[in-house]
Amino acid sequence: MITYVDSIRSLYNRCTATHSKNPSEQQPQPQPQPQPQEEIKPMSDILSRRHMANRARLPPEVNRILYVRNLPFKITAEELYEIFGKYGAVYQIRLGEKGRDTRGTAFVVYEDIYDAKSAVDHLSGFNVGGRYLVVLYYQPAKFQRRIEAEEKKKELEELRRQVKAKKAAMSAAENAAAS
């Protein structure tokens, strides 16, 4: 039975055998068959390929989900579709809740990552209703760390409250025993 490691080894051996440094050890290479002449492509095709190659090189933090901050509190989802829809097909928009600390924020999900990049490039600092938008790529790990930090802060406050109550009870008991 051939394992994965054995197949990798055999592939490696074949590659090193054909590319050894000693010319006497090299196996004769088959002569390449003449290729049919390629048709001449228009310049626009060549330029569009270059454009596509440049589009393919994106930083790792780029994704199709955007986190938007500093929105006017009275903005509607339709207005956000109008603003963000100019840069590509929007899959979903989620506005922060009005009564909570998430108001003035939204998540915008694009269907294409390049549309999301274009929106970040053009809408960061865009003035909407007298406020300048902050448009960022959604980073789930960063949001998770923030939630965990808030939970730890609440837990610490609860422990401090319990210690304070216990100290007060102990001092009351000492005062009662002393009198």
DSSP SS3 for 135: strand
The residue with greater pLDDT, 125 or 44, is: 125
Convert the pLDDT of each residue in 65-119 to its tens digit: 999 999 998 889 899 999 999 999 999 999 988 777 788 899 999 998 899 999 9
Convert the pLDDT of each residue in 27-36 to its tens digit: 555 565 655 5
Q: What are the domain boundaries of the chain? A: 65-137, 139-168
pLDDT above 90 as % of the chain: 30
pLDDT confidence band for 38 (50 / 70 / 90): low
Altogether, the residues listed in the chain come to a count of 179
What CATH number was assigned to the domain covering residues 65-137? Answer: 3.30.70.330
Per-residue pLDDT at 174:
85
DSSP SS3 for 65: strand
- Mean pLDDT across the chain: 76
What does pTM read for this prediction? 0.53
pLDDT above 70 as % of the chain: 66
Q: What is the dihedral of CA 136, 141, 145, 146, to 10 degrees?
A: 20
Per-residue pLDDT at 35:
58
pLDDT confidence band for 4 (50 / 70 / 90): very low
Q: Are 66 and 83 in contact (CB under 8 A)?
A: no
DSSP SS3 for 89: coil
Read off the tokens for 176.
């009662």
pLDDT confidence band for 146 (50 / 70 / 90): confident
